[in-house]
Amino acid sequence: MRKLRGKHGLRGRRILVVDRDRDVRDVLCELLAQRGAVPEAASNADDAILAVRAHPFDALLIEAFVWNARGGLLAEFAVRSQPAAAVLLTGDTGAEAPAPSGARVLEKPFTSRDLSDALDAPPRSLAAGP
């Protein structure tokens, strides 16, 4: 996997990485840290909600399966508590798991370049819509 562009492009940005797969979480957190981000990892919706309650994030990078877990509880909580955070969904976001308005989608597998481009784009919050 290539390094993300711009060594300091995300310096200081807090990014929550939520994925059920530990290896995926670890790789994403490592890539984000290389760019100067402050990543935090969660493996499920409950842990993600606790993290979002604890402090604000600049971006939420959430596996679509987790996003839709527990009847959309994470989605509802994220929108209410952090409406300005950029949201990126990873994985299958087809008809069974439609992406919420305003969320960017990164279909798995994605490259570090895809991740970089999505994070470098101007943020779109869920509250603002597409």
Residue 2 is predicted with a pLDDT of 39
For the domain made up of 14-115, the CATH class stated in words is alpha beta
Alpha-carbon distance 80 to 26, whole Å? 27
Residue 4 is predicted with a pLDDT of 47
User: Whole-model pTM?
Assistant: 0.78
For residue 41, name the pLDDT band (cuts at 50, 70, 90): very high
Listed in order, strand segments (DSSP E) in the chain are 14-18, 38-42, 59-63, 86-90, 104-106
For residue 16, name the pLDDT band (cuts at 50, 70, 90): very high
Q: Which residue has the higher pLDDT, 71 or 45?
A: 45
Every domain of the chain and the residues it spans: 14-115
Q: What is the mean pLDDT of the chain?
A: 77
Contact 126, 78 (CB under 8 A): yes
Residue 40, C-beta contacts closer than 8 angstroms, at least 6 positions apart: 14, 15, 16, 17, 29, 51, 57
pLDDT above 90: residue 84: no
Residue 106 is predicted with a pLDDT of 79
71: left (phi over 0), alpha (psi -120 to 50) or beta: left
